Amino acid sequence: APGPSTSSASRHHRAHRSGGARDERYRSDIHTEAVQAALAKHKEEKMALPMPTKRRSAFVQSPLDTCTPPDTSSASEDEGSLRRKAALSAVLAQTLQSPDYWINRSVQSSSTSSSASSTLSHGEPKTHPQPQLQPAVSLLADVLAHTRIGKHVPPDVTSSTPEERGSRVDLPPAVRGMSRGQSRSSMLDTADGVPVSSRVSTKIQQLLNTLKRPKRPPLSEFFLDDSEEIVEVPRPDPNTPKPEGRQIIPVKGEPLGVVSNWPPALQAALARWGATQAKSPALTALDITGKPLYTLTYGKLWSRSLKLAYTLLNKLGTKTEPVLQPGDRVALVYPNSDPGMFWVAFYGCLLAEVIPVPIEVPLSRQDAGSQQIGFLLGSCGVSLALTSEVCLKGLPKTPNGEIIQFKGWPRMKWVVTDTKYLTKPSKDWQPHIPTANTDTAYIEYKASKEGTVMGVAVSKISMLTHCQALTQACNYCEGETLVNVLDCKKDMGLWHGVLTSVMNRIHTITVPYAVMKACPMSWVQRVHIHKARVALVKCRDLHWAMMAHKDQKDTNLSSIRMLIVADGANPWSVSSCDAFLNVFQSHGLKPEVICPCATSPEALTVAIRRPGARGAPLPARAILSMGGLSHGVIRVNTEDKNSALTVQDVGHIMPGALMCIVKPDGPPQLCKTDEIGEIVINSRAGGTMYYGLPGVTKNTFEVIPVNQAGAPIGEIPFTRTGLLGFVGPGSLVFVVGKIEGLLMVSGRRHNADDLVATALAVEPVKTVYRGRIAVFSVTVFYDERIVIVAEQRPDASEEDSFQWMSRVLQAIDSIHQVGLYCLALVPANTLPKTPLGGIHICETKQNFLEGNLHPCNILMCPHTCVTNLPKPRQKQPVDVGPASMLVGNLVAGKRIAQATGRELGVHQFLSEALQWRAQTDPDHILYVLLNAKGAAVCTATCAQLHKRAEKITATLLERGSLNTGDNVVLLYPPGIDLIAAFYGCLYAGVIPVTVRPPHPQNLAATLPTVRMIIDVSKAACILTTQPLMRILRSREAAASVNVKTWPTIIDTDDLPRKRPPHIYKPPTAEMLAYLDFSVSTTGMLTGVKMSHAAVSTLCRSIKLQCELYSSRQIAICLDPYCGLGFVLWCLSSVYSGHQSILIPPLELESSLPLWLSTLSQYKIRDTFCSYSVMELCTKGLGTQTEMLKVRITLTELHYKNLNSINEMFLSNHACLQTRGVNLSCVRSCVVIAEERPRLALTQSFSKLFKDLGLSPRAVSTAFGSRVNLAICLQGTAGPDPSTVYVDMKSLRHDRVRLVERGAPQSLPLMESGTILPGVRVIIVNPETRGPLGDSHLGEIWVNSPHSASGYYTIYGEESLQADHFNTRLSFGEPHTLWARTGYLGFIKRTELLDCKILMSSRHWEIYLESGLRYHPIDIETSVSRAHRSIAESAVFTWTNLLVVVAELSGSEQEALDLVPLVTNVVLEEHHLIVGVVVIVDPGVIPINSRGEKQRMHLRDSFLADQLDPIYVAYNM
């Protein structure tokens, strides 16, 4: 960056400069004072907002070499020179509403020091101890005590999954009443066992306190259900200022004078000077040090341009087929540092009558905006590019030396225009110089707000007229000297420095951007040395010169008669002009020579201030109310200086032009005199069209203003300038912003530049780079939301950055009365640049929306700025009776939503079934157990199973000293031993309890769960294998649980051959058969009691539905410990007699194709699996279907060295040696789960394995719950599983509206299978307990002989049990007893009068907000779609905040990119504001054995600070 770096120099500079308080660009005085005032209303405070938690590795630092201050269009000055004496006081703004908006200091302080233990893992700097910790904790305790999370229910545990599977390990729970090394005294009674000193909960509390502040528009209370529109429409504020003036009259510029010697065309002027003034200097170029490099005379310029014109027309191609014809478009690709080459090329093209299209030099294939330049070249039909030899050498090349094909560009032919390659024209050749006409002379590029680059065509007559108008307005004289610091390819740099200067034989000294960076005083020195009369600069150049002027004692600027400030229309140019004058007035600079101007690519120069007479009063300035500006009206601000904007005029409009102000949106209606509008111009000196884009041209170049009645005011077309402004006294033009910088938020206009000025007035020196800030808006949830992105200095600390961000929030809120949606800081030098070093706003916005910005700090404020959320839903009355039938929105006459399966026959005891099979068909094989190699390691015939069960019974009776009805825990790996032990218990009259064994590599996490089930079930004995018995008694186990208090442990590996004296037969079928313990997704351990009657009716139900009989084979790849998985693994085969091929899901870890190759090898028709198995196959084998399909032999594979197949895959699959996998035999593949069918997973599984012959109709799902293990199961003869699309808006209101596929806000739901025989289902309103009509969402209640008898719990909460298992409807059919599943769903009747249950979510996991119902799985689906790096997500709520946890599969650098994307997608698709976004490593979200997410468990781990997150963002 420019400026000396020695501290002594900067000290001297600070002492010397009187205008120190007004030195920085972007900063109008009003902003500085306003920000100081806004921030000074409070006494100094540290951070008011909860700071995000960041893991140390997630601190993104750019490498040191890239941390040099970046090239900017607006100076990244050295530190010393910018540290202002009057630094803004670092204090927080008080908001307009409530003084307790920013949080009580005591609560805040605890967030930094309360959790010292976890400080290291999160990389938060440890602050000094804070004495106010006590009140914070007590306050928090108070809050937490009132935030009880649900009733106290059975204890909370999670079963484990082995660690190898991807480190998804279920965490041990925080269970109240269980001593796990934590004394009760150290925990507050918060109903969820989270220690109150936990940092996370403190921060969330801080966030809640912050959010107490009311949002600006208050929400109305209720809204009508059938309203089509879902957003809150803000009511018009009666105090909104309205324009009161009369309609504006078009303003006329002075007439364009006729001077006798004006040339008929610009080329003619060049020809004249080339012939008559050949020695006169036209252009002086500077080298990198700021010294003159060469001077091009008018003679040289003429002769070289002539040569180029001749070469272009005659030497490219052949005489019969020239490459270029007059009127063709040619790209000019020259660097700014070589203006001479550009001038020759430009005038050469004019003389050859081809159309030059100057563009920037592309630096790389992925250059920011190169694709848009490609669009420009394509729309202009450019296929030839002129460039210099040096530039051509610098362009990126392919390995064989050709210039690469730039992204989005048409194919280009490159022509070098250095003099040595040009041909001297023959004697008889003369260029054709016609009088200026309406043909296009050149095309100037312009980038729109969306980033599209279009070409503005300027005709020959426009070009000439514009030069004449500028000559008249600026009073140019022949032979003057002009210093040009601007880009000579476009805009003012081209119009003044290349075109008008040649017309008037002016000597132009060009100071390129690279020279300015190296020597910021160079333009001032050139003015001094050459006694230049005119200088052409931007505010940036004034600022840079002012920063570096201390070395120049003898600089004299008295020769300047006109200092043209090209961006003087910007509101923040005032302070730059003032500060520059302040410093250089003593060097001869006259105040009246500063001439701001307003320009636009379409209308060229709009207005310019003429230089004033010596001593004449300077023009007045407008001090406007920001509030008025945001409503588009002009109000002079007298009361509140802090929300005012000072603007300077840009002089009068150009000679020969006519100007109006029209409304910026809608029809071009004339504004009133006190209204801000878009400036439109009618002039011969403007652009004529967007080249090649006739549609867009009409809306911009052919606008006819209309009056208030809508009638056109005339027939002459005006051109839109894209400038917003008004006409002040004396017809002076004032510009307050640009359309492209306009941010329309909730109907109010804000200017991006004003927001930049405010943000940078918050003493940014320590935190961000001054010129490296981007402001744009993104559309989220029906409104524009403001985003600010800035580059953070490498030495800024986390705390500094966060403090700066929170201050910017308050300053903008206070001054502009608008909330920021997102504030992001990125590492230095990472924002995409425009060719001249500014920030490429469109590319930055695109990166933000695509998640490619990689911020190092981010603050989202959706709570503050999203004020149009859906209105709360009106609760319906709940006092319903049989007569009224008013339930939800149900009116009498609707059909009750209920469904019944077919009739069921008689039952028998399962133990008797095994004995009968052992006698009648002893050698029939019931079970085959496979290992990872696909080999049968164990089989069991009916007789073998019966004998093994008898041996276990004898051992139990002998060694267990058990009474009938005692509980016995079965601790076995998945296999036949487990089945034998189960029947052994039935034979002995004891109650089996199957428990998943602990994982040997992860005892600390998995053994406490085993211990808890043993304790809760009061087991009298444990049956297990020898290896597991050793584990239970090992030293490692002793570290997690008390191993001395295990009940009797019996290993069943080597049992003596004994038969029991008798086999127990239960006196009634209602006696208990077994206990089924499972962990729900809410992390709750529930054991249910299954009677003998329920077991046998369930087995009969499944037999009828799936047509199971002795000759059938089924394959089961499920965990055999609970629910339907246990029933299919252990019970079904014994009852129905079919053969079960058992595949332990664990074996798939080491051999992925095991399950599919088994189906193929055994030609299985029916198979049962879990979602986790299906996911493993989809992710692991999805890319290998071809290899699975082909005939494979081991030798072929080794020969081809196909490394992509796992080694295991090679060695383990004997079955693949002879034939490939063929799944055409599979008739039904049923996924066993207790959740909404995962449509995306089942569909991708079907699609991926379609190539292996899998029928698309084969995959279906089952549905069961804790109260009834199997409610639905897709039968073999039933119709195909169907999918329906429901409207999400209706679903939130508990209504089901079916819509077409692809409808907006539609949600696909797959049916949960056909209702099992003997089952009755009804849909009930969970609040009124009355039946609901068809197509209403309600709780699924079930009546069935195989429902569980009740919960088995040591707490004996009978009320809970009765409520769930024996409930009656409030009306309709009050005598039937129903069991409540806790799941929400609806029934859809098909044409065959068949009823399908479609499940939407678990009732207890539903999130209620404003009376609307939200389903976690839907929010998670949206989140997972938000970014490619989100592997998995889970949501839960805490204290009414929605917390989203996302697993990051990419690099940690992407963690912060996810925060805005997650917030956006949930707001956009579900109309909910995310309170906290937690980014974690893959595998952190706990899942149970069925592959279901354990959201409540995740919540507890988060609140106990056990997740080790990569990043936690607290949305404001």
Model pLDDT for residues 721-754, shown as the tens digit of each residue:
999 999 999 999 999 999 988 899 988 899 888 8
Per-residue pLDDT at 299: 96
Residue with tokens 């296929």: 383
Report d(CA 896, CA 561) in Å as an integer.
89
Mean pLDDT of 1475-1500: 87
Mean pLDDT of 670-677: 94
The b-or-e profile of 816-840 (16+ CB within 10 A means b, else e) is bbbbbbbbbbbbbbbbbbbbbbbbb
* Contact in structure between 46 and 91 (CB atoms under 8 Å): no
Mean pLDDT of 588-601: 93
Report d(CA 389, CA 1149) in Å as an integer.
61
Q: How confident is the model at residue 1083 (pLDDT cuts 50, 70, 90)?
A: low
Q: Which residue did the predictor score with more confidence, 1443 or 1395? A: 1443
Per-residue pLDDT at 1465: 93
Residue 1078: CB atoms within 10 Å: 23
Per-residue pLDDT at 132: 39
Per-residue pLDDT at 233: 64
Model pLDDT for residues 852-877, shown as the tens digit of each residue:
999 999 999 998 888 888 777 665 55
Mean pLDDT of 1270-1276: 81
Q: Which of 190, 196, 195 is nearest to 137 (CA)?
A: 196
- Among residues of the chain, what percentage have pLDDT more than 70? 78
Q: Beta strands of 567-603 (E only): which ranges?
A: 594-600
Report d(CA 923, CA 942) in Å as an integer.
6
Report d(CA 1248, CA 1358) in Å as an integer.
49
- Among residues of the chain, what percentage have pLDDT more than 90? 43
> Which structure tokens are listed for 621?
């300035």
Helices (H) and strands (E) in the chain, counts: 47, 59
Q: Is the pLDDT of residue 275 over 90?
A: yes
Mean pLDDT of 1231-1248: 89
Judged by average pLDDT, the poorest of 607-621, 707-721, 1398-1412 is 1398-1412
Per-residue pLDDT at 230: 57
Instruction: Name the 3-class secondary structure at 270.
Output: helix
Task: Give me the sign of the Cα torsion angle 1342, 1347, 1348, 1349.
Answer: positive
Mean pLDDT of 434-450: 91
Q: Which residue did the predictor score with more confidence, 851 or 43? A: 851
- DSSP label of 1347: S
The Cα-based distances of 396 to 399, 406, 833 in angstroms read 10, 9, 18
Mean pLDDT of 407-430: 90
Report d(CA 575, CA 587) in Å as an integer.
19
Q: Is the pLDDT of residue 6 over 80?
A: no
Judged by average pLDDT, the poorest of 180-194, 350-364, 1469-1483 is 180-194
Q: Is the pLDDT of residue 946 over 90?
A: yes
Q: Which residue did the predictor score with more confidence, 1034 or 318? A: 1034
pTM: 0.78
Per-residue pLDDT at 879: 45
Q: Is the pLDDT of residue 1261 over 70?
A: yes
Q: Beta strands of 1344-1418 (E only): which ranges?
A: 1350-1352, 1379-1389, 1395-1402, 1407-1409, 1412-1414
Per-residue pLDDT at 207: 74
Q: Is the pLDDT of residue 148 over 80?
A: no
Q: How confident is the model at residue 248 (pLDDT cuts 50, 70, 90)?
A: very high
Give backbone dihedrals phi and psi of 1137, rounded to 5 degrees, phi first.
85, 0
Q: Is the pLDDT of residue 550 over 50?
A: yes
Judged by average pLDDT, the poorest of 573-582, 809-818, 893-902, 1218-1227 is 893-902
* Contact in structure between 1330 and 1372 (CB atoms under 8 Å): yes
Give backbone dihedrals phi and psi of 284, rounded to 5 degrees, phi first.
-115, 125
Give backbone dihedrals phi and psi of 827, rounded to 5 degrees, phi first.
-60, 155
**What is the chain's length?**
1516
Q: What's the Rg (C-alpha) of the chain?
A: 40
Mean pLDDT of 1257-1261: 89
Residue with tokens 């490429």: 840
Model pLDDT for residues 1169-1219, shown as the tens digit of each residue:
999 999 999 988 877 767 776 643 333 343 334 344 344 333 434 333 335
Report d(CA 47, CA 803) in Å as an integer.
6
Per-residue pLDDT at 514: 86
Report d(CA 1387, CA 945) in Å as an integer.
42
Q: Is the pLDDT of residue 1142 over 90?
A: yes
Per-residue pLDDT at 425: 92
The Cα-based distances of 116 to 30, 126, 180 in angstroms read 44, 8, 22
Q: Which of 156, 180, 176, 158 is nearest to 1006 (CA)?
A: 158
Per-residue pLDDT at 621: 86
Q: Which of 243, 250, 246 is nearest to 680 (CA)?
A: 250
Residue 1450: CB atoms within 10 Å: 16
User: β-strand 1412-1414 against 1430-1438: which pairing, if any?
Assistant: unpaired
Q: Which of 673, 791, 885, 667 is nearest to 1325 (CA)?
A: 885
Q: Is the pLDDT of residue 770 over 80?
A: no
Residue with tokens 């930049």: 756
CB neighbour list of residue 1192: distance below 8 Å, 6 or more residues apart: 1216, 1217, 1220
Q: Which of 247, 254, 255, 258 is nearest to 652 (CA)?
A: 254
Rounded to the nearest 10 degrees, the angle between the axes of helix 460-474 and helix 266-276 is 60
Q: Is the pLDDT of residue 1370 over 60?
A: yes
Q: Beta strands of 1390-1498 (E only): which ranges?
A: 1395-1402, 1407-1409, 1412-1414, 1430-1438, 1441-1448, 1474-1480
* Contact in structure between 253 and 240 (CB atoms under 8 Å): no
Q: How confident is the model at residue 50 (pLDDT cuts 50, 70, 90)?
A: confident
Q: Is the pLDDT of residue 14 over 50?
A: no
Q: Which residue did the predictor score with more confidence, 1365 or 231? A: 1365
Q: What residues pair up with 979 in beta bridges, in sequence order?
A: none
Report d(CA 975, CA 928) in Å as an integer.
9
Give backbone dihedrals phi and psi of 1135, rounded to 5 degrees, phi first.
-75, -50
CB neighbour list of residue 133: distance below 8 Å, 6 or more residues apart: 109, 110, 113, 114
| Average pLDDT along the chain | 80
Task: Give me the sign of the Cα torsion angle 1175, 1177, 1179, 1183.
Answer: negative
Residue 560: CB atoms within 10 Å: 23
Q: How confident is the model at residue 265 (pLDDT cuts 50, 70, 90)?
A: very high
* Contact in structure between 754 and 645 (CB atoms under 8 Å): yes
Q: How confident is the model at residue 568 (pLDDT cuts 50, 70, 90)?
A: confident
CB neighbour list of residue 505: distance below 8 Å, 6 or more residues apart: 273, 277, 280, 282, 298, 478, 479
Task: Give me the sign of the Cα torsion angle 322, 328, 334, 336.
Answer: positive
Mean pLDDT of 1315-1335: 87
Judged by average pLDDT, the poorest of 906-920, 1113-1127, 1164-1178, 1394-1408 is 1394-1408
CB neighbour list of residue 1164: distance below 8 Å, 6 or more residues apart: 1113, 1114, 1115, 1141, 1158, 1225, 1226
Q: What residues pair up with 403 in beta bridges, in sequence order?
A: 397
CB neighbour list of residue 276: distance below 8 Å, 6 or more residues apart: none
Mean pLDDT of 1300-1319: 86
Mean pLDDT of 423-434: 90
Per-residue pLDDT at 1289: 82
Q: Is the pLDDT of residue 197 over 60?
A: no
Per-residue pLDDT at 1189: 67
Q: Please give the span between the terminal C-alpha atoms of the chain, in angstroms, as a whole number.
A: 36
Q: Is the pLDDT of residue 320 over 70?
A: yes
Q: Is the pLDDT of residue 1335 over 50?
A: yes
Model pLDDT for residues 508-547, shown as the tens digit of each residue:
999 998 888 888 889 999 999 999 999 999 988 898 888 8
- Residue 1164: its H or E element: none
Per-residue pLDDT at 891: 34
Per-residue pLDDT at 71: 40
Mean pLDDT of 1053-1075: 90
* Contact in structure between 161 and 1487 (CB atoms under 8 Å): yes
Judged by average pLDDT, the poorest of 145-154, 455-464, 708-717 is 145-154
Q: Is the pLDDT of residue 43 over 50?
A: no
Instruction: Name the 3-class secondary structure at 415.
Output: strand
Residue 80: CB atoms within 10 Å: 18
Q: Beta strands of 878-963 (E only): which ranges?
A: 898-900, 925-930, 936-941
* Contact in structure between 462 and 441 (CB atoms under 8 Å): yes
- Residue 209: its H or E element: helix 199-210
Q: Is the pLDDT of residue 303 over 90?
A: yes
Per-residue pLDDT at 642: 72
Mean pLDDT of 84-106: 32
Rounded to the nearest 10 degrees, the angle between the axes of helix 910-920 and helix 1092-1106 is 60
Q: How confident is the model at residue 1395 (pLDDT cuts 50, 70, 90)?
A: low
Per-residue pLDDT at 991: 96
Q: How confident is the model at residue 1403 (pLDDT cuts 50, 70, 90)?
A: low
Q: Which residue did the predictor score with more confidence, 851 or 895? A: 851
